[in-house]
Amino acid sequence: MAGHMSVIARGERAVSTTNRNFVGRMGHPESEVYLANPAVAAASAVKGRIADPEEVAKGLGDARRRSKMILQGRVWKYGDDVDTDVIIPIRHCIASDLQELGKHCMEGIDPDFSKKVRPGDIIIAKKNFGCGSSREPAPKAIKAAGVCCVIAKTFARIFYRNAFNVGLPILECPDAPDFIEEGDEIEVNLDTGEIRDLSLGKRFQAKPIPPFMQDLIRDGGLMNHLSKKLKRGDLDVVAAHPR
């Protein structure tokens, strides 16, 4: 799974959600880049080859036997087009310490956010959350600040991918951001996509997170997930290019 800044060597192949697959753009002219939606890209990363998300989901067994992923927290609310520059200003992106990133989370739109937020709180926003520069420190900063979940009407596609890469749960819901207010206490079921506003007594339905993508969250992100699969010996490893 590659982003638009990746460099792919001769003969290598990648699955990408970024439409930069013209010859030579992401690496050697004799490399191959296949476009896919985030679910297919994530499934392919899990399997080590181009894979159908359903194939991965079937291999996980009965989802009802898995531990439920239910989150509960206080809401911080924002509007449309919250971009990565306000989530984590570029001057702080050089920090390698995740806690330092967390201290500056949402600084460009809410300077005191890191002082107010509590572990387990939830961010709600309207459309196109995470737009702008495709920087991975944005979801890292949100997670490091203690936020357990982000709900929005829509997400910028690269932020969507980066969030699961680092193990940050995010949900798309068309109507919850119009009714839930800042300070409300809400409960989020990642298995079913149900959102309960405990303050208002209302329920909303978001797109549920597929079981195999929940595994990315449980394991703390894509790299940790793949590392665990390699240790267990249940990852299909495919050579990057012929020898």
What pLDDT, on a 0 to 100 scale, did the predictor assign at position 198? 96
Tokens in use for 222?
A: 């894509």
- Tell whether the model's pLDDT for residue 5 goes beyond 50: no
pTM for the whole thing?
Answer: 0.71
- Tell whether the model's pLDDT for residue 174 goes beyond 90: yes
The β-bridge partners of 33 are 14
What pLDDT, on a 0 to 100 scale, did the predictor assign at position 234? 66
DSSP of the chain, one letter per residue?
-B-TT--B-TT-EEEESSS--STTSSB-TT-EEEE--HHHHHHHHHHTS---HHHHHHTT--GGGSPP-EEEEEEEE--S--BHHHHS-GGGTT---HHHHHHTTTTTT-TTHHHH--TT-EEEE-SSBTBSS--THHHHHHHHTT--EEEES-B-HHHHHHHHHHT--EEE-SSHHHH--TT-EEEEETTT-EEEETTTTEEEEPPPPPHHHHHHHHTTSHHHHHHHHHHHT------SS--
Write down the residue that tokens 């927290």 correspond to: 73
Comparing 181 with 90, the larger pLDDT belongs to 181
Residue 15's closest CA among 34, 39, 29? 34
The β-bridge partners of 171 are 151
Comparing 194 with 229, the larger pLDDT belongs to 194
Q: What is the pLDDT of residues 58-117, one digit of tens each?
A: 655 544 445 678 999 999 999 999 999 999 988 888 777 888 899 999 999 999 999 999
What pLDDT, on a 0 to 100 scale, did the predictor assign at position 59? 58
Residues 6+ apart with CB under 8 A from 138: 84, 87, 88, 130, 159, 162
- Tell whether the model's pLDDT for residue 215 goes beyond 90: no
The separation between CA 20 and the C-alpha centre of its own chain, rounded to angstroms, equals 20
Q: CA gyration radius for the chain?
A: 18
What pLDDT, on a 0 to 100 scale, did the predictor assign at position 6? 53
Comparing 25 with 105, the larger pLDDT belongs to 105
**In CATH, what is the architecture of 70-208?**
Alpha-Beta Barrel (3.20)
Q: What is the pLDDT of residues 7-24, one digit of tens each?
A: 778 888 888 887 666 676
- Res. 241 pLDDT band, cuts 50 70 90: very low
- Res. 125 pLDDT band, cuts 50 70 90: very high
Q: How many CB atoms lie within 10 A of CB 191?
A: 17
- So where are the chain's domains? 70-208
The amino acid that residue 45 corresponds to is: A
Calpha distance 53→49 (Å, rounded): 12
